[in-house]
Amino acid sequence: MHVEFLVEEPSAEAALRNLAPKILRPGDTFDVHAFQNRHELLHRLPNGLKGYSYWLPEDWRIVVLVDQDSDDCRVLKAQLESAAQRAGLVTQSSSRQGEDFKVLNRVAVEELEAWFFGDPEAVVAACPRVLRSFSAAARYRDSDSIKGGTWEGLERVLQKAGYYRSGLPKITAARLISAHMNPDRNKSRSFRVFRNGLIRLSQRSAKACPTLP
């Protein structure tokens, strides 16, 4: 199977290039296409998916990943689903029992950095001066419900430990932390939903296209 990831910014691309090989089956391939921001992704997505629909090989799948930010998650997910429907592509959410699907839409709640908070061991491994006890603080205990922005929260944690005093470089942080992440221990619910969807996508593809003896 080959997966085309469509993401809203380069930091998500940096993270997925480390995370995807840890989740997909050995032998699966992937590429990541990053936009400059979510507005650009959502604007170009309908035509992009329509283009894919004309030539998408049988063993290719598309995964769209966006941050929730302050939007209603259900409205945002419906927008992604509508873009795929207009392109004539079946999504996991719209597929019937046993039906194959081509598109998996996922929303990071509320931002990609919540996934990093969901694996505090990876944060400490990437930045050893950070105390492991940071994750026990009430404000960081539920990584999907951090108030004031998860990107800002991660910046505070790292700056307190003496890192990135002039500002957190999102791409660098995403690359370093994701390199140490273990998808099976992540406590972020939105990350687990993403991981489980990607696993099902890979397994379903394997059943649809079995390897020859």
Domain 2-112+184-208 in CATH 2.60.120? The answer is: no
pLDDT of the residue at 202? 80
Q: What is the pLDDT of residues 112-170, one digit of tens each?
A: 999 999 999 999 999 999 998 999 988 888 998 887 789 999 999 999 999 999 999 99
Report the amino acid identity of residue 146.
Answer: I
Q: What is the pLDDT of residues 7-51, one digit of tens each?
A: 999 999 999 999 999 999 999 999 999 999 999 999 999 999 999
Residues 6 or more apart from 153 whose CB is under 8 A from it?
A: 113, 117, 139, 140, 146
pLDDT of the residue at 211? 39
Instruction: Give pTM, 2 decimals.
Output: 0.91
Domain boundaries, the chain: 2-112+184-208, 113-172
